[in-house]
């Protein structure tokens, strides 16, 4: 007779479950394979070929902060693969009434197949993942935005080929997207030059782990010279609104305008995760100009995350 005490209801796959919380959760080979798969999924989608690889699978999405692209791309992506997505706003779930994030995680593991979280604090995603038996995806935290990296790298590969060895410039606040780009520079082996004021540098630990792939300067022009791509983001991120005035002042010299863009390669591309503030971090002339690939970049969120969902759920 089996001992009932040993008949634990705990799933046995707990330790092998894969998450995508930070870029190094993927190996460089896996990251490149996901880009290839995203490009393939994009072409299937353009040819309107149906694909039902995630039939009957459900994604739960928890958004503590606003989103247009992340919500829409994950929800549309699940639908297009034959699955379903549920949006859980803390305001109208028990999270808003104080149910612990780890209890929420355990419950969702019993009901859905994958979870995506956008949180104020990175530690919230880590707590959720620490007890999760299903894959957990970081849909942006105060520290990182790894899903944006999948789409950005897909976009660079489509426009300019493999990014290995390329020189990329970041202009502006050393924020979550910048931290993710540093991790990605190490992973995919490119040179990242970050131009930012001393008060708004990226995370020191992440910078130190970059194995020399990322360097910081206060000289915007030097950063842009001979760059294959220039990347920027809003100066005030979600949650930093009270610092808006100081940030606008300190970051003003880091606005990307046509003159700075002209310092880069002739065929350099401009990337921005969006939403953008024209006249702050980038001029309208640049973001709406011929070197800007921001709409392709936003669209690639859909394809890159479909590739990620298939990777996490099917491999």
Whole-number Å distance between alpha carbons of 262 and 227: 10
Q: If contact means CB under 5 to 8 A according to the sort of partner, which of ligand NVA, ligand CP, none does residue 68 touch? A: ligand CP
Alpha helices in the chain (DSSP H): 28-46, 69-80, 101-109, 122-130, 146-160, 176-188, 204-208, 220-224, 244-251, 258-261, 284-287, 294-314
| CB 10, min distance to ligand CP, A | 34
Q: Annotated catalytic residue: which of 273, 291, 303, 305?
A: 273
Q: Annotated catalytic residue: which of 19, 69, 186, 301?
A: 301
Quick check: 299 and 43 in contact, CB under 8 A? no
Q: If contact means CB under 5 to 8 A according to the sort of partner, which of ligand CP, ligand NVA, none does residue 169 touch? A: none
Q: If contact means CB under 5 to 8 A according to the sort of partner, which of ligand NVA, ligand CP, none does residue 175 touch? A: ligand NVA
Q: How many residues bind ligand CP (CB under 6 A)?
A: 8
Tell me which of 37, 104, 180, 237 binds ligand NVA, using CB under 6 A.
Answer: 237
Whole-angstrom CA distances from 121 to 6, 17, 144 are 37, 22, 10
Q: Is residue 67 near ligand CP by the rule CB under 6 A?
A: yes
| CB 144, min distance to ligand CP, A | 12
The nearer residue to ligand NVA, 105 or 175, going by C-beta atoms, is: 175
Q: Is residue 177 near ligand NVA by the rule CB under 6 A?
A: yes
Whole-number Å distance between alpha carbons of 18 and 4: 30
Q: Is residue 175 near ligand CP by the rule CB under 6 A?
A: no
DSSP codes of every residue in 165-183: T-EEEEES---HHHHHHHH
């Amino acid at each position: 007779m089996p001992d009932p005490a040993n008949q634990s209801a705990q799933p046995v796959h707990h330790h092998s479950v894969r998450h995508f919380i930070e870029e190094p959760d993927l190996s460089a080979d896996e990251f490149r394979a996901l880009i290839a798969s995203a490009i393939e999924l994009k072409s299937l989608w353009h040819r309107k070929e149906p694909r039902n690889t995630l039939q009957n699978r459900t994604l739960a999405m928890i958004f503590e902060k606003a989103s247009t692209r992340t919500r829409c791309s994950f929800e549309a992506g699940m639908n297009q693969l034959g699955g379903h997505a549920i949006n859980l706003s803390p305001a109208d779930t028990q999270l808003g009434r104080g149910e612990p994030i780890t209890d929420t995680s355990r419950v969702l593991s019993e009901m859905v197949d994958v979870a995506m979280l956008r949180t104020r604090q990175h530690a919230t995603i880590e707590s959720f993942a620490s007890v999760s038996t299903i894959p957990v995806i970081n849909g942006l935290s105060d520290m990182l935005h790894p899903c944006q990296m999948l789409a950005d790298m897909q976009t660079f590969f489509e426009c300019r080929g493999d990014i290995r060895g390329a020189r990329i410039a970041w202009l502006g606040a050393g924020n979550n997207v910048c931290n993710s780009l540093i991790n990605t520079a190490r992973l995919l082996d490119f040179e990242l030059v970050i131009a930012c004021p001393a008060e708004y540098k990226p995370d020191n630990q992440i910078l130190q782990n970059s194995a020399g792939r990322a360097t910081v300067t206060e000289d915007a022009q030097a950063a842009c010279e001979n760059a294959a791509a220039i990347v920027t983001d809003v100066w005030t991120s979600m949650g930093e609104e009270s610092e808006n005035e100081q940030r606008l002042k300190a970051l003003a010299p880091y606005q990307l305008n046509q003159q700075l863009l002209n310092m880069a390669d002739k065929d350099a591309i401009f990337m921005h995760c969006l939403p953008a503030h024209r006249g702050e971090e980038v001029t309208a002339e640049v973001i709406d100009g011929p070197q800007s690939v921001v709409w392709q970049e936003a669209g690639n969120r859909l394809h890159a995350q479909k590739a990620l969902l298939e990777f996490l759920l099917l491999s």
